[in-house]
A and B are shown apart, each in its own frame.
Chain A
Amino acid sequence: MHTLTIAWHTLLAFFPPDLSPSYLRYVWLPVAQTIGMASAGMVVALSLGIPLAIYVGTRAPGWQGIVGLLSALRAIPDLTLAILAVVIVGLGPAAGMAALAVFYTAMVGKVFAELFLAAPQAPLESLRATGAPRLAVALFGLIPLTLADLLTFGSYSFECAMRASVIVGAVGGGGIGTELVGAVNGLDYPRATTLIIILALLVASVDTLGWLIRKNPRIALVLFPVGVATMLLNPPQVFVVRHAFVTFAGMLPPLLNPKALAALPALLWETLEIAVGGTALALLLALPLALGAARNVVHTAITAAVRRVLDVARAVPEIVWALIFVVMAGIGPLAGALALGIHSAGVLGKLFAEAFENVDTAPVRALEATGAGRLPVVAFGIFPLAIGPIAVHTMFRLEWNVRAATVVGMIGAGGIGEALFNAQQHMHYQEMMAYIAATWLLVILADVVGERVRRRLGWNYVTT
């Protein structure tokens, strides 16, 4: 009871947000940095990722090797990359951009490559039969064939990059993330609330931008001047390149002392607990919320309101929820699981609602024709029909949450992420690299197991 009272008082301390003109004047620079970092990260990701994906998609020599490399890079959580980048590139947005560029090059490269590989082969064969070179096959075959998916995924990854730019900021990569962590650490909660509101608005605008880009792909070109300008304004802070290499070389080989090695399984287990607990909580919250957000279940006046709630839960990244819950519930795995649970509930709620809305209408109408009431129709018609997609989305979320659990750990939510962060803070870099390697293996393992399970159950679904 005492703990709940404290949590309640802490929550109240976040309100009202500081919306004074003087503070809003302060934050425009971090906000601009965040937008710039996300754009620059995407510019690099698209410039490097698309050629790589085309190389793979045209099955040029050694394409399997590139797929392997991209998958391996993608399994390193973005916050981990940011920690490395801050040590190597120096403080500020340059480090954030470097981390985002690497992470999203791998993500864009891998997913675009998969889309290209899955493209219908017949039209490509006929193009090749005309003697067209690879590039022509890509430009006139692969890209037009997959354009819709490319645009959907491209805008989705920009939205992710915007959220991720907050994550990398949290360890000194600049922008709103740096400001937000500083505000929370400085007990400046009303200003933290202001920053969270700004972040939610940013994510919502990116959502709208993504929608515009899908209608008119040329709008995506605005990313380039913004991204390039940010890169020009924020060169890396290191002026001795050699230092970066010496520092990095000093991190190798990864090494754990016997005591730390003995503690490793428990840390990995705690991270898994955060991931599973968070996903379970998300599932519990998302099911009722999704029913409330499905337009074929309840009135649209209700769905509109429920959808706004889901938007907020989703717009705030896990790490920001974790910052709040660490303040409210204390440091430890509970804060981590709550953070993953709330954010994932926002994501799953939206996806589940779409699953409910997309069910085959024929069986539902047949049920309605029997004179069944609203509740039986939902319980015995819509719900069972949507169970397949719900299971697939939950499974994907669990995989994602394994990665996210290591990330929230780094700001005090326990597990291997916390050990990683402490090792970095104490400059035990070989130990840090060992934790990075363990995290990386855990994420890869989760991805592989997830894929096996899906394949065995015959759940073939477009992946992102």
Chain B
Amino acid sequence: MPLPMISRRLLVEGAGAALVASMLPIAARAAGAAIRVGMIPDAGATQVSVDEKRPLREYLASKTGYDVNLVIPTNYNATVEALGNGSLDFAYLGGLTYVQAHARYGVIPLVQRSSDRRFHSLFITQSDSAVRTLADLRGKNFAFGDTNSTSGHLMPYYYMQKSGIDPERDVKYRFTGNHPATAKAVEAGIVDAGAIDESVFHAMVDGKQIDGSKVRVFYTTPPFVDYVWVARKDLDAQQRQALAQAFLALKDPRDKTLLDILRGKEFVRADDAEYDTLRGVARKLSML
């Protein structure tokens, strides 16, 4: 009797399943009813920072009708991979992480703050420093945020290059890992200057997390498109719509608490075509 045909794919998957099952005695299983929402750790990732965002989680749950798990992975890459391997359904990504995730896993852009359409990076230094222009950065210690950050690395790096400063040769730079750390490093004088997300910088000065009289902005980049909320490729359209609507319905000042957590004023629909310029820059700097 001829054996039934077993497709190669089935064999590979079967062997794969057996391997995973032997490595971890639990077979992979589908997620339950909750939707899982991830946020890049642009301001650190702890149980506490998740809890500070509890009003957001509760709002999303009530608007969408699903339970919501809010997760802040420890790094940008983990957030992208989680959208690829299905451990997250939605995520809040930076511009660069978005174009990476779109290229690798076809994630779908949903909504963004109106300010994300015209976002800026700020170059900051100590108030009493001699640094006044990008050219003054020559020979200085400089801080970028996370290596995968759009406003903390990619765009500032690009505009330094454009103004004739080669970050690889002309400055000594390091990555602080996130925006608040950059602000603190500049305030404390650990570095001579740094590049930071404008919304984080203003929120920190307003919230007195850094002393606004000690730090000065000396250069603002031209506008670029940045943060966006996305869904993983194969998520069902109804869930996608539900989450997008929840953000689009936010109104200032009625939803001020939530908008403050999100550091924005209003949400608009996002469009992949807006990211073409950013994609070009990322390719040029071989970060895509």
Contact = CB atoms under 8 A, between A and B. Distances in A.
A425 B82 contact: no
A6 B189 contact: yes
Nearest to B44: A186
Contacts of B49: 182, 186
B154 to A, nearest CB: 11
Nearest to B76: A425
A185 B182 CA distance: 10
Nearest to B104: A427
Interface residues of A, number: 59
Contacts of B104: 427
Contacts of A412: 174-175, 177
A172 B78 contact: yes
Contacts of B20: 89, 236, 241, 244
Given A9-B188, A188-B44, A188-B48, A236 B75 contact: no
Contact of B29 (A27, A90, A97, A239): A239
A30 B75 contact: no
Given A6-B190, A243-B85, A331-B174, A182 B45 contact: yes
A231 interface: yes
Interface stretch (B57-65, B66-74, B223-231, B253-261): B66-74
A30 B45 CA distance: 13
A412 B143 CA distance: 13
A90 B74 contact: no
Interface string A82-115: 0000111111101001100110000000000000
Contacts of A425: 75-77, 146-148
B271 interface: no
B25 interface: yes
B28 to A, nearest CB: 5
Nearest to B36: A237
A29 interface: yes
A98 B28 CA distance: 13
Given A6-B188, A179-B46, A185 B174 contact: no
A86 B81 contact: yes
B26 interface: yes
A331 B77 CA distance: 20
A172 B85 contact: no
Given A87-B81, A183-B46, A98 B24 contact: yes
Contact of A179 (B23, B47, B100): B47
Residue of B31, B100, B147, B190 contacting most chain A CB atoms (<10 Å):
B190
Contact of B24 (A97, A424, A427): A97
Interface string A179-199: 101110111100100000000
Interface string A14-36: 00000000010011011000000
Interface in B232-276: none
B279 to A, nearest CB: 15
B46 A330 contact: no
B86 A90 contact: yes
Given A187-B184, A241-B13, A101 B24 contact: yes
B24 A91 contact: no
Interface string A213-248: 000000000000000100110011111111111010
Contacts of B16: 241-242, 244-245
Contact of B28 (A2, A236, A245): A236
Nearest to B96: A426
Interface string A242-256: 111101000000000
Which of A170, A172, A185 lies at the interface centre, i.e. has the most chain B CB atoms within 10 A of its CB?
A: A185
B152 interface: no
B47 A30 contact: yes
Contacts of A10: 188
Contacts of B188: 6, 9-10
Contact of B17 (A171, A182, A185, A241): A241
Contact of A191 (B24, B48, B88, B148): B48
A90 B87 contact: yes
Contacts of B94: none
Nearest to A248: B16
B84 interface: yes
Contacts of B17: 241
B147 A182 contact: no
Nearest to A186: B44
Given A182-B46, A236-B26, A91 B78 contact: yes
Contact of A243 (B80, B84, B88): B84
Nearest to B30: A239
A90 B82 contact: yes
B181 interface: yes
Interface string B18-53: 001001111111110000000001011111110100
B178 interface: yes
Nearest to A28: B47
B74 A172 contact: yes
A80 interface: no
Nearest to A47: B25
A245 B28 CA distance: 14
A239 B190 CA distance: 45
Contact of A171 (B28, B47, B75, B184): B75
Nearest to A3: B190
8 nearest A-B residue pairs (beta carbon):
A186-B44, A237-B87, A90-B87, A182-B45, A182-B46, A235-B26, A172-B78, A26-B47
Given A172-B74, A186-B178, A426-B287, 6 more contacts: A9-B188, A86-B81, A91-B88, A178-B45, A185-B41, A240-B86
26 contacts: A9-B188, A26-B48, A86-B81, A91-B73, A94-B24, A178-B45, A179-B46, A182-B44, A183-B44, A183-B48, A185-B178, A186-B46, A186-B49, A187-B184, A188-B44, A188-B48, A191-B46, A231-B24, A231-B26, A236-B26, A236-B28, A238-B85, A238-B86, A242-B12, A425-B148, A426-B148
